Structure 1
Amino acid sequence: MPDLLPIWVLVLVAALAFTVGFIVNRSGTCLVSAAHEVLYKRRAWRVGGLALAAMASSGLLLPLSWISSPTLVLAPVFSVELTLIIGAVLFGIGALVNDACLLGSLGRIGNGEVRLIVLPVGLGAGFLLTDGTRVGQRVEYPSVLSEPTPLSVATYCLIAWGFIGLLAAFMSAERYLGVRPGSGRRMVMIGAVAGLLFAIEPSWTLASLVGGMVTGSVGTVACIAALATLAGSVMSAQRFGTFKFEFPTAWSAARTLAAGGFMGAGSTLIPGGNDSLLLQSLPGASPSAFLALIVMMTAILLTMTVTRLVVGRISKP
């Protein structure tokens, strides 16, 4: 069923999604990259970037929800259940096998990684396999920040101060500690633009697009957003000379399909992928979103650590 939205809204969604794709080609919200930096470089600036993006999204979503309620409401908070933990582990492992999360995959397609074109097929398979296990009785309730109460306003002020402090730390690190120039500002832009997209239409993500295809309820907004994100990524790759066509092998395609299955199953059980959890649910002070992200990160780090130990032992004479 097509989305009954004004043309100007669809154009705005396309422009915002294009911007996200352009930026995510150079930087992104991928937990795998963040975990790799923690494990191998012993620093956590990418984790800080994720926090910066979440704060930027909060900075837009909270006041917009207060001003526009009931037209715009924060994402509901889901109860913490075993399925959420299992889903987060599955998603984390899938992202590691894929070497990219969902939004990052669109960015890397723009760089020429053709294998990632089959990722939606794996996602769809994962959705189908776990659709029957959805917990229809899962409890959901409004965010504690959904109304401009003293608690909400105080929380918003704390987020603002934290945002300013973290952005200042990034700017200092970019100057003196060798952190990639512009990293902090790019994460702010991703958080702000994606947050605005979630405010306009929560179902703009790749996971929503594939889920809609599986259930037969794919929306116009999700199609436009996915294509615009991909177009932005391609444009960025051309602009900065990072495009390199990589023809997929049978192994890389199979790995991507399997990874998509894990991520599709995980995002069904949680529910949500890392991008929606970080930039839509977490700004609403969702404990389940925070827990899911922590479990994802832990699963990725543990799997990376075990893999490194096993490979190290095998390679020893």
Structure 2
Amino acid sequence: MILWISIVCIGLAGLIGFSAHRASLCSVRAVEELLTTRRGFMLASFVKSSLWVMGATLLITLFVPVDVMMTVGKELSLLTLVGGLLFGVGATINGGCAFSTLTRLGGGNIGVLLSLVGFVVGAALLELIPMGPFSSLAVDTQTGMSLLTRWHMPLAIALSLWMLWELAKLRRSFSPSGWKNKVTASHYRLSTAALLMGVSNAILYVLVGAWPYTYVLGHTARNAVTGAAMPAVIYWLLFVALVVGVFLSAWQGHRFRLVLAPNRQWLNYLFGGVLMGAGAGFIPGGNDVLMFQGLPSLSPHALPAFVAMMIGIALTLTLMRLLGRGIPVIDCGNDICAIDDK
């Protein structure tokens, strides 16, 4: 039984990686879209993903007797906001957030490995720096979901109606005779990716708890510095499955381009990764943890941290503009952002 559960989890993580690549999801791009076209389709897809996680998790826990990890959140503090800003600045320098880093790696950009190395270094440095009265960076507390137990059924009903509405909209754009073309399309609709990623994560959330890869890298850094417990093997397998899912998407969609030659951007990957790792230590977690765990569980720190992250990205992009560096125009239309990862 454990073997089959592990296989299912690995498959779901691979599906999340595949979907993220097909939809070109990235928090930096979401802010670029807001700044260049005054539209927020990609940002809306992040909200939809969190709603799918929340709705699907509630439905599962209403009918299946499992102890889902929605009871432990993090308190909001000034360091949470600092962490969000740092992560946003680092992601912009890196050229992409937690999602985009993996989609570029799976798409053949080997230099992005420096982003992951930098992330671990940044998280480790945070553990080494004496924080004085702030030595406890993240204080556990109850989540909104754990405090609103009486509202679980009404929430589940409301979110079920919304999910049915989303499914109906997607169904109108789907022809049974053309299902193969939809599956192999080079770019997925943002709403489709939100559905696939949200439901897949809800199942993973119930089966293995907090699993996003920035969580795994952060705990690995903590182990190296303090000797804390290493993440379980299943979390590393899920991390590998994410990258494999991205690779399969890039390969099948003819978007895999192996990039081995070092260039100046590699320094940005490393430095941006360090800032992302330090920011994730303050929050704690990256934008993947916030979207897949913090926001759906209504943790007190999640929404302020996510907003601070978006502000950090916007400020860095604005500074780049003032320094004469252009930012790409992200023009998402018909629920699709046709952007190639580099």
For the residue of structure 2 that corresponds to 1:141, the secondary structure is: strand
Change (3 A) 1:126 1:294: same
**CA displacement 1:80-130 (0-9 Å, x = unmatched):** 111101110111111111111113211221211111122221011111111
Task: List aligned pairs for 1:134-213, cutoff 5 A.
Answer: 135-136=135-136, 138-146=138-146, 149-163=149-163, 182-213=189-220
**CA displacement 1:133-185 (0-9 Å, x = unmatched):** 474374422223237743333333444445556677788999xxxxx762211
Change (3 A) 1:170 1:30: farther
CA distance in 2, matches of 1:93, 1:171: 38
Q: 1:229 aligns with which of 204, 228, 242?
A: 242
Unmatched 5+ residue regions in structure 2? 175-186, 225-229, 327-342
CA distance in 2, matches of 1:279, 1:213: 20
Percent identity for Structure 1 against Structure 2: 24
With the length of structure 1 as denominator, give the TM-score of the two structures. 0.85
For the residue of structure 2 that corresponds to 1:287, the secondary structure is: coil
Deviation at 1:69, TM superposition (A): 6.2
Change (3 A) 1:119 1:248: farther
Task: List aligned pairs for 1:235-254, cutoff 5 A.
Answer: 235-254=248-267
Change (3 A) 1:302 1:171: farther
CA distance in 1, matches of 2:189, 2:137: 44
Say yes or no: does 1:114 pair with 2:110: yes
Change (3 A) 1:264 1:65: farther
CA distance in 2, matches of 1:70, 1:164: 24
Say yes or no: does 1:16 pair with 2:12: yes
Match of 1:48 in 2: 44
Mean Cα displacement is larger for which, 161-170 or 186-195? 161-170
For the residue of structure 2 that corresponds to 1:136, the secondary structure is: coil
- The amino acid that maps onto 1:294 is V
Deviation at 1:15, TM superposition (A): 0.8
Contact conserved, 2:70 with 2:297, CA < 8 A, in 1?
A: yes
CA distance in 1, matches of 2:74, 2:322: 36
Unmatched 5+ residue regions in structure 1? 175-179
Cα RMSD after superposing both structures: 2.8
Q: 2:304 aligns with which of 277, 291, 297?
A: 291
CA distance in 2, matches of 1:129, 1:55: 34
Contact conserved, 2:214 with 2:288, CA < 8 A, in 1?
A: no
Match of 1:219 in 2: 232
Deviation at 1:203, TM superposition (A): 4.2
Change (3 A) 1:138 1:264: closer
With the length of structure 2 as denominator, give the TM-score of the two structures. 0.80
Change (3 A) 1:29 1:286: farther
Contact conserved, 1:64 with 1:72, CA < 8 A, in 2?
A: no
Mean Cα displacement is larger for which, 140-149 or 243-252? 140-149
Contact conserved, 1:32 with 1:300, CA < 8 A, in 2?
A: yes
- The amino acid that maps onto 1:263 is M
CA distance in 1, matches of 2:282, 2:324: 31
CA distance in 2, matches of 1:10, 1:171: 31
- The amino acid that maps onto 1:92 is G
Change (3 A) 1:181 1:71: closer
Deviation at 1:200, TM superposition (A): 1.8
Deviation at 1:261, TM superposition (A): 0.6
For the residue of structure 2 that corresponds to 1:15, the secondary structure is: helix
Contact conserved, 2:14 with 2:241, CA < 8 A, in 1?
A: yes
Contact conserved, 1:37 with 1:44, CA < 8 A, in 2?
A: yes
Contact conserved, 1:32 with 1:96, CA < 8 A, in 2?
A: yes
For the residue of structure 1 that corresponds to 2:239, the secondary structure is: helix
For the residue of structure 2 that corresponds to 1:249, the secondary structure is: coil
Match of 1:77 in 2: 73
Change (3 A) 1:250 1:172: same
Deviation at 1:72, TM superposition (A): 2.0
